Chains A and B, each alone.
Chain A
Amino acid sequence: MVLVLALGDLHIPHRAPDLPAKFKSMLVPGKIQHIICTGNLCIKEVHDYLKSLCPDMHVTRGEYDEDARYPETKTLTIGQFKLGLCHGHQVIPWGDLDSLAMLQRQLDVDILVTGHTHQFKAYKHEGGVVINPGSATGAYSSITYDVNPSFVLMDIDALRVVVYVYELIDGEVKVDKIDFKKTATAHSAH
């Protein structure tokens, strides 16, 4: 059983001062095995903070990231799942499922995590999942001003992944979860 924290678009300090206090208190070291971050952190301090939660951290580059060394896309394998990571500003139209599915096929991943739209989205698509964790700080985007802070925690266990969605609505943390099962043959057929 592996817990993977997926978050992005923090835009600290340009659009938000910090992570919401409620999120910060929930995110404690020792529980999470991996962090995947879609980008736009934007400064090194945030990177360091996330590293303190879990040393195994994967980041792709957003358009506002100071650190130019982040890759555009990244893939990693956790358990039996292959995960793809991309900020998403490169995929146009932004947040379009078909375009994202194209990227998913390109990267040949089961789970694609993208950001940029600051809207939580999760699609089951073609035997895979496309997830947008939203903005962890609730920072405004170029599309919308009304953003609820949210992030995603994936519980990956064998052929099964449970996606917990944490959303801060009116100062209260709401949790939702999405079950996703991968068929054993699905991946090998590719």
Chain B
Amino acid sequence: MSPAPIEVTLPESPSVSSPLCSSSTQRCGGESRFSNLRSVQWRINLGILPSSSSIEELRRVTADTRRRYAGLRRRLLVDPHFLKEGNNSPDLIMDNPLSQNPDSMWGRFFRNAELEKMVDQDLSRLYPEHGSYFQMPACQGMLRRILLLWCLRHPEYGYRQGMHELLAPLLFVLHVDVQCLSQVRKIYEDHFTDKFDGLSLTEGDVMCDYKFMSTPDSSNWGMGMDENNLQGSTNKVSSLDELNPEVQTIILLSDAYGAEGELGILLSERFMEHDAYCMFDALMSGARGTVAMADYFSSSPTLGSQTGLPPVIEASSALYHLLSIVDSSLHSHLVELGVEPQYFALRWLRVLFGREFLLEDLLIIWDEIFAADNSKLIASANDDDGSGFGVLGSPRGAFISAMAVSMLLHLRSSLLATETATACLQRLLNFPENANVKKLIEKAKSLQSLALDTSISSLSPFLYGAFDRKSTLTRVHSLSSGSISPRTPLKVVPESYWEEKWRVLHKAEELHQGSSGKQVPSGKKGSSGKVRLSLARAESDPSPAKTTSVKKDSRSFVRRRLLEDLSRELGFQEDVEKPGCSDQKDPICSQKDPLSSVNVGEQGFLNDSAEKNCIDKNFTSTAVETSLSGHTGSEENSSIFSASSSPLSGANDHENDSEKSSVSSNLYVDDNDGESNNLEQCGTALDDTPLPVSYPTDATLQQPESDKDSTGKQETILKERKLHSGKFQWFWRFGRGGGEGASEKGGNSEVSRSTNVGGTSEATTDKCDSSGLGGTGDSVDKNVLGTLRNLGHTMLENIQVLESVFQHDRGQVGSLENLSRNILVGKGQVTAMAALKELRKISNLLSEM
């Protein structure tokens, strides 16, 4: 067999360690026993080989599985010619080629032939670009036989397109390992021949078919050295364990004279087919776990399912469910577009992402998938409430779902930019090939724990109803009637204003405008949904239920992880954003840093408001674009405008834009502060009791269990708020940060109070935001230069305000008397001061212009 064209995992240079190093470097599970022999590791993970037992046991099990396969092949692969030999007096009436009896030998033969034809149709198109391995006749033959046998063995499933794509990587992994082995053997042939000759003298055997394998990773394996076997080597390397301590194991693994003889050799070209079948069978049947790939190919619900849906539909529902927890805005966007999860998940899940990634990347992903345990964690949790997703019940199922969600999140910005289901699916079904698999897996791993937690603490109807489209809509609806309504009138004004502008400037692009107009409400809904979710979470904090808090912690952890990812992606070139980034990690600190805390608040709500701001900006920017064109690039705000003027240009750009515009919106907020009536607005927001109260009441509606708790809490909160009304001057401003902090840390009444305020200030900042937009937009229209000068001034004022806030902050901190906080605050202040300096520079520049 000639080596496959995919050389990534194949050895290239004939050095001692490199042949296997190249394949082992990609794997992260360093602690595993056969980390550099992927095929062996997979066989252990799939439950074919025992994970912890002696070499002899491994060999024995290997031999057994191979024998089973051979028996199966003998039994099921019918050849009428050979069967006649042993059976000389067959019933010719029944067993003749034209027999109508389906049970006859020939009937079975023709059925198999039909199946074979179907399989062949797919196999001939399997990885055509990697032609030289998968298209090799030998490989095709093996694939065909394995598929055929599996289908005959499991007539209830039959052959479905896609099965071959699940099998191919398994066979490839075996092939690569066998190839590795043979190359290592070739390199050290003379060396080992001598050694074995020496051995053969003592044993009196001719060792011609001795397979030898060396592995570079000399970690923890090599204790069971049998010194006798190594005595014979008298070559350049005096003893084999000097060369490599793992050698002994591998010798035993591939020793043709060990337990079970040649049949027990773990990696053998002769038994690749047998091994591949066992792996395929284990993958398809799931070894009594929750994820049985075969179920994904059947259209009838499994026995245990409560939903009555086919398993693959159920799995894709679970995927959306997970998405709704992690990123409700993306989820609601997809639901609003009418993109059902199975539209893309069917393809993703059935072949375990085989079509979305290159083979090399796929192997890494499968490493992780198989490494995850497939056994159900707690059977009762899912069965009792009748609502959980069985798929999420095992680490492996959760990981697969998490992987899909992480892929969705990878496409997040470009998905949110789509306006039709078709465009959305186009992006989903053309997953970018250059995606960073490691990052995706990392993200998926963090999501996996979240998925597992959600399935364990089977949540209130709010969460599992989330999948249902109807309930999602009602949720949105109730939100808009509750918390959004006070805000909407304020928002409408600038929006319609800019729509007007837009129409004047771009009459031709009315269609475009309409579609982006559509986007605004969706973003808004999403963000408010998020606000509400986080608030509800914060409220339920003090409730004694442990599971909830555990779940919440992990969720916030996941969230933080996601945010970190996002911020890393964006690169954070601007200094203003740096404190925000650092604050994300310690939310308490963020309370003390007004600017960055607002920033955190923005990001903390999963950038929903940022998204919304961005859309708002899109209106502004396109309107302003023509007049500003001369000044773009030189000045920060205008550069934001120009950047966001092409909202649909590219995924990364878009994300950057939203980030930038969120920053700019923060600036506007602060502008307004500095300019005038921040106290007034603050006052109105605070006195506006129905508004903050509406949050927890909604929350109680959704979480009946914590009803009393939260209402009681609410009362105390209100009292507290009156007591501390003097402090609100500060709190309303970084309340958002506080809110984030609460939703992440929680548990502390002080913080939960600030959460409440945070909710209020969220509303207020939005007000400021929109009015700020309107104001600047106007002035820009009148005179660009004047605006710039104004901006500079307001920024200066703004900075002064910030500085004064800082001083007050110190006092505040003193009153809190929290030592640990003090420390954190110190750190936050340093970063904030740096940000302020930067701001000052910019404002100087602006005022000069």
Interface, chain A (partner B; CB < 8 A) = 1, 3, 25-28, 30-31, 153, 155, 157, 160, 162, 164, 166, 173-177
Beta-carbon contact of B81 and A175 below 8 Å:
no
Report the Cα distance A25→B80, complex, angstroms.
22
Q: For the complex, give the distance between the alpha carbons of A153 and B84 in Å.
A: 17
Known: A1-B81, A31-B110, A160-B81. A25 touches B100 (CB 8 A): yes
User: Is the CB–CB distance between A157 and B98 below 8 Å?
Assistant: no
> Roughly how many angstroms separate A177 CA and B84 CA in the complex, as a whole number?
11
Q: Cβ of B96: which chain A residues have Cβ within 8 Å of it?
A: 153, 164, 166, 175, 177
Given A176-B92, A177-B92, is A164 in contact with B97 using a C-beta cutoff of 8 Å? yes
The chain A residue with its CB closest to the CB of B110 is: A31
A85 to chain B, nearest CB (A): 20
Residue from B81, B84, B92, B97 whose CB has the most chain A CB atoms within 10 Å? B97
B93 interface residue, CB < 8 Å from A?
A: yes
Question: Given the complex of chains A and B, what is the CA–CA distance between A36 and B623 in angstroms?
Answer: 81
Bin the interface of chain B by size.
10 to 19
For residue B98, which residues in chain A have a CB less than 8 angstroms away from its CB? 26-28, 31, 153, 164, 166
Which residues of chain B have C-beta atoms less than 8 A from A1's C-beta? Answer: 81
Check A3 against B97 for contact (C-beta < 8 Å): yes
Contact residues, B54-94 vs A (CB, 8 A): 80-81, 84, 92-93
Across the two chains, which residue of chain A brings its CB closest to B109? A1
- Smallest CB gap from A3: residue in B: B97
Task: Indicate whether A173 sits within 8 Å of B93 (C-beta atoms), given known contacts A1-B81, A31-B110, A160-B81.
Answer: yes
A5 (CB) vs chain B CBs: closest residue: B98
Docked pose: A31 CA to B99 CA in angstroms: 11
The 8 nearest A-B residue pairs measured at CB: A175-B92, A26-B98, A175-B96, A164-B96, A3-B97, A175-B93, A153-B97, A157-B81
Q: Which residues of chain B in 96-115 are interfacial with respect to chain A, using CB atoms and an 8 Å cutoff? A: 96-98, 100, 110
Alpha-carbon separation in the docked complex, A63 to B96 (Å)? 32
Cβ of B81 and Cβ of A26 under 8 Å apart?
Answer: no
A and B contact pairs by CB, cutoff 8 A, 26 listed: A1-B81, A3-B97, A26-B98, A26-B100, A27-B98, A28-B98, A30-B110, A31-B98, A31-B110, A153-B96, A153-B97, A153-B98, A155-B80, A155-B97, A157-B81, A162-B84, A164-B96, A164-B97, A164-B98, A166-B96, A173-B93, A174-B93, A175-B92, A175-B93, A176-B92, A177-B96
A174–B94 Cα distance when bound, in Å, is 10
Q: In the assembled complex, which residues on chain A have CB atoms less than 8 Å from the CB atom of B110?
A: 30-31
Which residues of the partner chain B approach A175 to less than 8 Å between Cβ atoms?
92-93, 96
Q: A153-B96, A162-B81, A164-B98 are in contact. List 16 more A-B contacts (CB 8 A).
A: A1-B81, A3-B97, A25-B100, A26-B100, A27-B98, A31-B97, A31-B98, A31-B110, A153-B97, A153-B98, A164-B97, A166-B98, A173-B93, A175-B92, A177-B92, A177-B96
- Chain B residue nearest in CB terms to A179: B84
In the complex, chain A residues whose CB is within 8 Å of the CB of B92: 164, 175-177
A166 to B100, CA, bound (A): 14
With most chain A CB atoms within 10 A of its CB, the pick from B80, B93, B98, B110 is B98
Q: Which residue of B lies closest to A176 (CB)?
A: B92
Determine how close the nearest CB of chain A comes to the CB of B148; give it in whole angstroms. Answer: 16
Could you mark each residue 95-138 of chain B with 1 if its beta carbon is under 8 Å from any beta carbon of chain A, else 0?
01110100000000010000000000000000000000000000
Q: What is the CB-to-nearest-CB distance from A135 to chain B, in angstroms, rounded to a whole number?
A: 18
Residues in A neighbouring B84, C-beta threshold 8 A:
162
Q: How close is B406's CB to chain A, nearest CB, in angstroms?
A: 47
How distant is the Cα of A28 from the Cα of B98 in the complex, in angstroms? 8
Inter-chain contacts of A3 with B (CB < 8 A): 97
Chain A residues positioned under 8 Å from B81 (CB to CB): 1, 155, 157, 160, 162
Q: How far is the CA of A177 from the CA of B93 in the complex (A)?
A: 11
Q: Separation in Å of the B112 CB from the closest CB of chain A?
A: 12
Q: Of all chain B residues, which has the CB nearest A154?
A: B97
B 784-806 to A, binary, CB cutoff 8 A, 1 in contact else 0: 00000000000000000000000
Within 8 A of A (CB), among B574-621: none
A162 to B92 CA separation, bound complex (whole angstroms): 12
- Bound CA–CA A166/B99 (angstroms): 11
Cα distance, A166 to B98, chains bound together (Å)? 10
B631-651 CB contacts (< 8 Å) to partner A? none
Contacts of A155 in B (CB 8 A): 80-81, 97
Using CB atoms, name the residue of chain A closest to B95.
A175
Distance from B89 Cβ to chain A, minimum over Cβ atoms (Å): 11
CA–CA, A79 to B81, complex, Å? Answer: 16
Q: With A and B bound together, what is the CA distance between A25 and B96 in angstroms?
A: 14
A166 to B93, CA, bound (A): 9
Nearest residue (CB) in A for B79 is A1
Q: How far is the CB of A190 from chain B (nearest CB, A)?
A: 26
Q: Kindly supply a per-residue 1/0 record for chain B positions 178-198, scoring 1 wherever the CB is within 8 Å of any chain A CB and 0 otherwise.
A: 000000000000000000000
Task: Determine how close the nearest CB of chain A comes to the CB of B78; give it in whole angstroms.
Answer: 12
User: Chain B contacts of A157 at CB under 8 A?
Assistant: 81
B532 to chain A, nearest CB (A): 63
**Residue of B at shortest CB range from A27?**
B98
Name the residue of chain A whose CB is nearest to the CB of B106: A31
B649 to chain A, nearest CB (A): 56
Alpha-carbon separation in the docked complex, A175 to B100 (Å): 13
A3 to B80, CA, bound (A): 13
Q: Among the interface residues B92, B96, B100, B110, which one has the most CB atoms of the partner chain A within 10 A?
A: B96
Expressed in whole angstroms, the Cα–Cα distance for A153 and B92 within the complex equals: 13
- CB closest residue in chain B, given A177: B92
Q: What residues of B have a CB within 8 angstroms of the CB of A177 in the complex?
A: 92, 96
A176 vs chain B, min Cβ distance (A): 7
Q: How far is the CA of A157 from the CA of B92 in the complex (A)?
A: 19
Tell me which residues from 730 to 765 in chain B have a Cβ below 8 Å from any Cβ of chain A: none
A122 to chain B, nearest CB (A): 15
Give Cα A160 to B266, complex, Å. 39
Minimum CB–CB distance from B14 to chain A (whole Å) comes to 43
Q: State how many angstroms separate the Cβ of A164 from the closest Cβ of chain B.
A: 5
Shortest beta-carbon distance, A156 to chain B, in Å?
A: 11
Complex CA distance for A26 and B727, rounded to whole angstroms: 95
- Kindly report which residue of chain B lies nearest to residue A151, judged by CB atoms: B98
Q: Within the assembled complex, what's the spacing in Å between the Cα atoms of A162 and B88? A: 13
Tell me how far the C-beta of A11 lies from the nearest C-beta in chain B, rounded to whole angstroms.
22
The interface residues of chain A lying within 8 Å CB-to-CB of B100 are: 25-26
**Nearest B residue to A30, CB-CB:** B110
Instruction: Provide the bound-state CA to CA distance between A3 and B81, in Å.
Output: 13
Chain B nearest Cβ from A179, distance in angstroms:
9
Nearest Cβ distance between residue B104 and chain A, in whole angstroms? Answer: 11
